[in-house]
Amino acid sequence: MTKLRQRMLEELQRRNFAPSTIRYYIRTVRDFAVHFHKPPDQLGVDEVRQFQLHMLRDQKLATGTVENRMTALHFFFKKVLKRHDPELYDMKLTRVPKKLPVVLSPEEVEKLIAAAPNLRYRTILLVLYATGLRRAEAARLKIADIDSQRMIIHVHEGKNSRDRELPLTPKLLEALRAYWRACKVKPKVYLFPTRFKTTEEERPVSDKAVWHACVESARRAGLSKRMGPHTLRHTFATHLIENGTDLPTLQLLMGHQKLQDTTLYVHLSRRHLHAAVNPLERIHISGLPQTPPEDGGGTAAV
């Protein structure tokens, strides 16, 4: 590891960035340096501008991805190299499309879980869907975090180092007990541990392993929707809204700092989408069936 890479790693760790963010930032700076075949500290504003154009025009990356990678480069130049060039921070994209996240139907969730290739993956999927945990939070979940007496799951140092508590449902508790009974080597600290071949030292699985559990199960289930751990987080929140959960409660469960972030799931809820009376249903169109008044203006079955 070069001194420059070590310095960037220390700056990220000192600010308590998530492991996945640390990997993403370091990989972005590495790609930036490889593109110009020079050490990153020998590059400047002109190269950042060219790299941004390369990502948009040649690689055709999504604008959100480009923005994230630009944020990583900003961190490198400002926090690691201590450069404060105003022109460097004036390269934000003016038009970043706001896309709604993918949400699975209950039937698709059942299909996904049933297609898990093993009990470990199946349990990971159940935990993600039943709690809305982020993938790093699920990977670091400890046995001691499962409080079966109070029926609570404790989440320690989630995003932005915030703790929160989640309800432990009877069905999830039974699934966790079945997983525990099936483990040949019982987990000691982490719910989903991994062990080094040379020692018995226990570590949590990587968040990439959690991602692979979702992707592989989705492939086996034949789901065409874009799939990842965050898909189950979005699905958890949307299904709660559809079942009548209020926004302040959902905000606590999701660990959002701002209620504005939670309101996204109102736009994804079928119950809220269909609550409004469509004006088409209130006018007479020749040749089209008319919505009976007692249906309350709902969409006629197709």
**Residues labelled as active-site residues:** 134, 159, 230, 233, 256, 265
- Residue 87, exposed/middle/buried by CB under 10 A (0-12, 13-18, 19+)? exposed
Q: What is the maximum alpha-carbon separation in the chain? A: 76
Residue 173 Cα distances to 72, 131, 267, angstroms: 39, 12, 31
Instruction: Give how far the C-alpha of residue 120 lies from the chain's centroid of Cα atoms, to the nearest Å.
Output: 20
Does residue 158 contact residue 170 with C-beta atoms inside 8 Å? no
Residue with tokens 């249906």: 295
Q: How far apart are CA 287 and CA 259, in angstroms?
A: 45
